[in-house]
Amino acid sequence: MAGGTGRGAKEKGKMTVDLNVQKSALRKQIRQTLQSISPAARAVASLELCDRLQPQLQSARTILFFAPLPDEPDIWPLLEKLLPTKKICALPAFDSATQSYSARQIQNLTADMAAGKFGIWEPSAACPEISLDVLDLILVPGIAFDLRGHRLGRGRGFYDRLLANGHGIKCGVAFDGQMVKELPAGTHDVRMDFVATPTRLVKVSG
């Protein structure tokens, strides 16, 4: 019995290592693709993606945005447009005590934002926290997505933990070059309900 348990643990460990190797290789490949996009093309694609997201935003009242990194689609215009409305707009904020992300509401992009732990703009500690289970829509960045709704993140696992506790519709946000046929995925990886790119909005089946 003990021998069987040992073999099972070894096999599981090897599968985890293989999965991480596959993910690392794919991250490198997609990053090279992203680097080939010119700033002008990136700006145009980001605006097209913002238009693509309009139907999702219209039906949501409480939305979790993200602060885009330089290689991610710029969805800031959507946030700026919705802040003066009655919709509740939030962004992830890192909690050093729990080493995890929570959601905090913002009302002013200038007054409410500060540089976070990883150099990513996030709500200041004075912004009210919003329970993840009241979110209607979660806009999700990533390195890559596939048609089954799987997401490849940056490898830290912070976003997966946030998504696991979020009850709203999860919509991946990506450039077309970040869509792949199939991603290597583990049991802890959270699937998207939709994936939006500049040219399409993919509804994930199953």
- Which structure tokens are listed for 125? 């500690």
**C-beta of residue 63 within 8 angstroms of C-beta of residue 87:** yes
Over 80: is that where the pLDDT of 197 sits?
A: yes
Distance CA 184, CA 77 (A): 32
pTM across the whole model = 0.87
Alpha helices in the chain (DSSP H): 2-35, 39-52, 54-58, 76-82, 158-165
Domain with 157 in it: 2-203
Is residue 60 packed enough to be buried (19+ CB in 10 Å), middle (13-18) or exposed (0-12)? buried
Task: CATH number of the domain at 78, please.
Answer: 3.40.50.10420
Domain count, the chain: 1
Over residues 33-85, the pLDDT tens digits come to 999 999 999 999 999 999 999 989 999 999 999 999 989 999 999 999 999 99
Residue 156 identity (one-letter amino acid): R
Structure tokens at 181: 């046929």
100 pLDDT band, cuts 50/70/90, is confident
Q: Who's near 136: CB < 8 A, 6+ residues apart?
A: 59, 60, 61, 62, 63, 168, 169
Two tokens at 124?
């200041």
* 173 burial via Cβ count (<10 Å: 0-12, 13-18, 19+): buried
